[in-house]
Amino acid sequence: MNLYHYCSNRSFLSIIETREILASELSLSNDLLEGRWIRNIFLEYCNEKNVSSYDQQDLLRHLDSLIAFSGGAGFCMSADGDLLSQWRGYADDGAGVSIGFSKEYLETLGERKRDRGDKFNAALTQIEYNKARQKELVAEQMDQILELLKVGAMRIPTLLTPETEEETARRKENFSKIMLQFFLLFFHLYSIKNPAFAEEREWRIISHLVRRRSRGADSDLSAMDFRADTDRIIPFRRIPLEDLGRPAITGIILGPKNITPSEIVDAFLKKHGWTNVAVQQSKASYR
């Protein structure tokens, strides 16, 4: 199976020449709710479980802290290599290319980085758009959070509601448990998206990162590289396409406005050691 990365000709040349892909900070993508869509799912889940508005706001405060603390760098692909909306949005309005990456290669790459304990992880993830399935993904953490809420994990003692030392110890223990469940939601922030984007059929290589650290320690951002776009500066991580005994790239589709002859693209690929890569033209009648 191939997963396709839509890009400009310039980006295509860079990937082939350097044998590396760039995972960019996802919060600066074209989806305003990137990394924050989980709030919608969180609130719907709470409403279905009849959680009071007061408790919801208290829980949201902690969820928002998690979102502010967390980040994700992603290399984005689609399961469809010749999709008109993708050509328009991500490949110079159809003048670029879509690069077909082997799904099996990317899975192996992520496993290799994890086994080595690399600082910059790279897990291949399929994006979930269906709201019912999104709720299933976070259900275990959500159920634990709501159960701990019921037994007073978020309770604040007052002069009118004092507690014994044993009750204080139990509350603090439960508070630690509820914070752990919030932390586990971290791994879902960038794997669920607004259903409006479902047509993209997106897969991602996601590298999780910490935007903020306490006590003056550097965040993961300071260890990243940076590039400039028209209206933003984007942090990114470099992911080398290592030799894993199987091809990383197996196909190239030229965009509907890309006039480059296929033999030129084929020659460029071979010059940089990429063999057995099929080159074809988009079937989209777009100009």
Residue 217: pLDDT over 90: no
pLDDT, tens digit, for every residue of 273-285? Answer: 999 999 999 999 8
Distance, in Å, from the CA atom of 6 to the CA atom of 82, rounded to the nearest integer, reads 9
pLDDT bucket at 247, cuts 50 / 70 / 90: very high
Closest CA to 79 of 198, 247, 194, 248: 198
Written as six digits, the tokens of 235 are: 């942090």
Look at residues 57, 61, 37 and name the one whose alpha carbon lies nearest to residue 46: 57
Q: Give me the amino acid identity at 227.
A: R
Residue of higher predicted confidence among 82 and 29: 82
- Distances in whole angstroms, Cα of residue 61 to Cα of each of 54, 65, 132, 134, 239: 11, 6, 24, 21, 34
Task: Provide the token pair at 247.
Answer: 């091809």
By percentage, how much of the chain surpasses pLDDT 70? Answer: 96
Query: Would you state the structure tokens that stand for residue 76, as one six-digit string?
Result: 């984005």
Q: Which residue has the tokens 């405060």?
A: 61
Tell me phi and psi for residue 116, to 5 degrees. -80, -15
Distance between CA atoms of 48 and 85, rounded to whole angstroms? 35
pLDDT at residue 4 is higher than 90: yes
